[in-house]
Structure 1
Amino acid sequence: MQRTITRILLVFFGLVEVPVGLWPLISPTGFYQDFPGFRSGWVAMDGPFNEHLLRDFGGLNLALAALLIGAAVIGTTAVARLAAVSALLFGAPHFFYHLGHVGHFERIDQVLILATTGLGMLLPLALLLVPGRRVSSPATP
């Protein structure tokens, strides 16, 4: 069984992925021009508009959100670890790409991009490190 902290992290991480998934599906151009919303242009500054890529990215983020939240609902440690590995397989390459490609952004954006994509790698690692809850066997008379 999962610990409470595991469920909280899974749900939090899953809920963060929902808007990142929905936005490019609902408005690929808006996502391209305005992501992350409070500092615009992160995606636009990194290459030309590609609707196909943005829709795929949105779908991937929604799938990841469903997996993370579903793992919290199911409640087993094995499923939580599977969700964490899946998130790590997405988050690590995403972080390492940005680690080498932020030079053309303002300093504050560099910090924000590396911090947010770094969390996308650190949260799954944290989930993997949380030990599962031991299930005590029922006492036999």
Structure 2
Amino acid sequence: MNMSIKRFSVGFLAVIAAVVGIWAGFFPLSFHNEFPLPGWGWVSRLGPYNEHVVRDYGLSNVALLIITTWAWLRPDEKVYRVVGGGRLAYSVIHFIWHMLHLSAFPTVSRVGAVVSLSLIVVFSLLPMLPDRSRRAAEAP
């Protein structure tokens, strides 16, 4: 896996963290009622509004945004592995929870949740993969 793909992955994760983090952290009722798009209400289908929980989720993503952006600005193999590992731990648990609760959604939302959460898992894994180009350059 080359560094440009890893850097793109880390940037993608930062953008997702920014959108979700700012929306849920600073506009929790709107996030609860409207995420991922107005009228869809994925979060509201999972239970009653709890400002504390939604803000905590959002601000956790703001923390991930800060760490992920820092990594994006300093492209380094080790930094990408650490950030990817942390993001992977977070995103796999989030993915599993949502896969166990898909029954609350209509089919189009189920597909959307599976695809979007799968992408986040994949983009968390990519920065952790070995750099083939570097390994080839070091070969005798």
TM-score, normalization by structure 1: 0.87
Corresponding position of 1:29: 29
Q: How big is the shift at 1:134?
A: 3.5
Percent identity (aligned):
28
Distance in 2 separating the partners of 1:35 and 1:12: 18
**Greater C-alpha radius of gyration:** 1
Corresponding position of 1:87: 87
Corresponding position of 1:97: 97
- RMSD of aligned C-alpha atoms? 2.0
Q: How big is the shift at 1:133?
A: 6.0
Distance in 1 separating the partners of 2:11 and 2:132: 17
Higher helix fraction (1 or 2): 2
Structure 1 unaligned segments of length 5 or more: list them: none
> In the comparison of the two structures, how many residue pairs are matched?
136
Corresponding position of 1:66: 66
Q: How big is the shift at 1:104?
A: 2.1
The ranges of structure 1 where at least 4 consecutive aligned residues each deviate by more than 2 angstroms after the TM superposition are 132-137
Distance in 2 separating the partners of 1:114 and 1:33: 20
Q: How big is the shift at 1:41?
A: 0.9
Corresponding position of 1:55: 55
Q: How big is the shift at 1:39?
A: 5.1
Please give the secondary structure, in 1, of the residue aligned with 2:134: coil
Corresponding position of 1:113: 113
Higher RCO by CA contacts (8 Å cutoff, separation 6 or greater): 2
